[in-house]
Structure 1
Amino acid sequence: MAMSTNSDREAKARQLMAEADKKLTSFNGLFGNLLGKPSNAVEEAIDLYIKAGNQFKMCQKWDLGAKVFTTAARLQSRTGERHESATSYVLAANCFRKYEPYEAIGCLTKVIEIYEELGRLAICAKHHTTVAEIYETHLHDTDTAVKHYQSAADCYRAEHSLASANKCLLFVANSAALSGQYQRAIDTYEEVAKHCIESSLLKYSAHNHFMRAALCHICIDLLNGELAIKRYEDLFPAFSDSREYKLVNTLIGKLDDNDIIGYTAAIKAYDSISRMDPWFVSILLTIKNKYNTDSDPDMK
């Protein structure tokens, strides 16, 4: 049996779409009077559109796939099939993501609205995260991505999914710090760290969150940093034995002595054991520039 080619799939999809259009045409007054339970013709048309969309997906005709899935979603919405409508909007969004991210966001926004009304907040959170990823990756709009990560975190917390909420909040905190919103970053890191302390599985990740919060404090004021790590010790005594605490404490001492060479050496020593990600590099350079006006080409 010969395998179907993309041209075969596209031809089949177009035929299915034509059959669906014909069924709708035969249903008089569809778009003006769709109320209550759908007729068999409408149900059959929806099924045909979805089958057509799947064929369009297989041959990578993303624009046509998006068109028929969106049509199916609208029909399902008008006939009260809300779950089914949300599913079709997600399928449409997946197609739109291939070539038109704003349209994908529009579809996912409808999905979020449906599930909010149904009280399915964990699903809302999942789609807020997807929207955030589109803004972050495709549209390079970090500010809007942050808003959706925050919304996702709020939804996850409402469903008591704290681990998932924390992942979203860490993006919010990291972005806030890099944009100079240090107090917002501090508040968010501390919130996540406190959640972690309460979990036997997550408590040691609190070291990293407290470290990030302390560095943000230092970006504001050195004394803020000193007071913060003392407070973090009181909240989580194990923090004082961590490499993260020891590094922050050392950096505060070096900055207090205006010893930028020692500051740089302490960072390099830490980095040789625990590789720092770009966030740390950026924040540590910000701190170095704040407390020292001399150039230090070795600080990389």
Structure 2
Amino acid sequence: MKAGELYKKAGLIYKLSKKWMEAGDAYFQAANCFNKRNPIEAITLYIDSSNCYRDYSSNDAIYALHNAIELCKENGRFRTAAKHQITIGEIYESNLNDIQNAIKSYELAVELLNNEMDETKQLECYIKLGVFYSELEQYEKAIDIFLKVANISKKLNKSWYPTDKYILNAGLCQLIQNLKNDILPNKLKNILRFCLKFNENFKNSKEYTFLKKLIFSIEKKDPENFVQILQEYDKYTPFETWKLKLLLQIKQFISMKIIC
């Protein structure tokens, strides 16, 4: 334990000197010393190590977090383990641009949260997964996840998790998938029926009206009208980046006259 305290002090000195890699190494060694006798202290030190590494060595930051997660699981701290698993997902996404491993990390976080019955945190993970699968053009998976999110949000009944928004996300993924699969424009109204079958109250939402207008503009093969609809909606509900990219892909189908 004495060695652990010395490594811990060295980590603090390196941290104050802004020698981040050395600080990360020292905290990691301290955590290893505390690992068996004081796992809670070791968890904290692994996290300190990861925080020091994060902007300088993403792989070392992830490795330190993995050690913390294993100790959390061994000690029944599943919610804390999930929190750190989400952080690993964020590192893969933001630092390494590795979406596949980010997906695996968020899926592991969802599994850990099953032990805690924490549907709010699970919902946040599912939202990220839905966006990832949409960006990877795996629309079936994205649709399933967004509908799962809509179900959870309906159950939670929280205003900051609007159910209609997630039904719209599923509808937009279905729309672009249909266009990529050469579904005739006059069949696109089936998407509206698909959304209403999931939740008949969707018809009373601004999201339903927006989706309906988009489909009509596609039927008319009118890209100018399509853009106008986007601009009107964006004034009141700004688009997330991933959704705007998806909508612009849809516009390309109209502009390039791909639709029969």
4+ residue runs of structure 1 moved beyond 4 angstroms?
222-225
What residue number does 1:287 align with? 250
Q: Which has the larger radius of gyration?
A: 1
Matched with 1:47 is 5
Cα distance in 1 between the residues matched to 2:79 and 2:133: 24
Query: How many Å apart are 1:203 and its aligned residue?
Result: 8.2
Aligned length: 252
Shift of 1:273: 2.7
- Residue 268 in 1 paired to residue 231 in 2? yes
Cα distance in 2 for partners of 1:266, 1:107 equals 48
Q: Determine the structure 2 residue equivalent to 1:5.
A: none
Q: Equivalents in 2 of 1:204, 1:109: separation in Å?
A: 30
> Quick one: which amino acid aligns to residue 261 of structure 1?
E
> What TM-score do the two structures reach when normalised by structure 2?
0.88
Asked whether the 8 Å contact 1:217–1:228 carries over to 2, the reply is yes
Structure 2 distance, partners of 1:204, 1:120, is 26
* 1:215 corresponds to which of 155, 169, 172: 172
User: Which amino acid in 2 is paired with 1:260?
Assistant: P
Instruction: Identify which range, 275-284 or 120-129, moves more after superposition.
Output: 275-284
What per-residue deviation string (whole Å, max 9, x for no partner) do you get for residues 200-222 of structure 1? Answer: 22486111111111000011116
Between the aligned residues of both structures, percent identity stands at 27
Quick check: 1:253 aligned with 2:197? no
**Cα RMSD, aligned residues only:** 2.2
Please give the per-residue CA displacement for 1:80-122, whole angstroms capped at 9, x wherever unaligned. Answer: 4322222221111111113211111111111112222333211
- Matches of residues 33-72 of structure 1 in structure 2 within 5 Å? 43-72=1-30
User: CA offset at residue 164 of structure 1?
Assistant: 1.2
Return the letter of the residue paired with 1:184. K
Task: Give the letter for the 2:101 counterpart.
Answer: T
- 1:252–1:104: structure 2 CA closer, same or farther, 3 Å change rule? same
Output aligned runs, 1:12-161, within 5 Å.
Answer: 43-77=1-35, 79-161=36-118
Is the alpha carbon distance of 1:294 and 1:165 closer, same or farther for their aligned partners in structure 2, counting shifts above 3 Å?
Answer: same
Contact 1:63–1:95 (Cα < 8 Å) also in 2: yes
Question: Are the counterparts in 2 of residues 214 and 225 from structure 1 also a CA contact under 8 Å?
Answer: no
Amino acid paired to 2:235: S
Query: 3-state DSSP class of the match of 1:197?
Result: helix
Matched to 1:190, the amino acid is L
> Residue type matched to 1:159 in 2?
E
Instruction: Provide the rounded CA distance (Å) in 1 between the counterparts of 2:2 and 2:190.
Output: 67
Q: Which protein has greater RCO, CA pairs closer than 8 Å, 6+ apart?
A: 2
* Greater mean deviation of Cα atoms: 85-94 or 231-240: 231-240
Change (3 A) 1:208 1:81: same
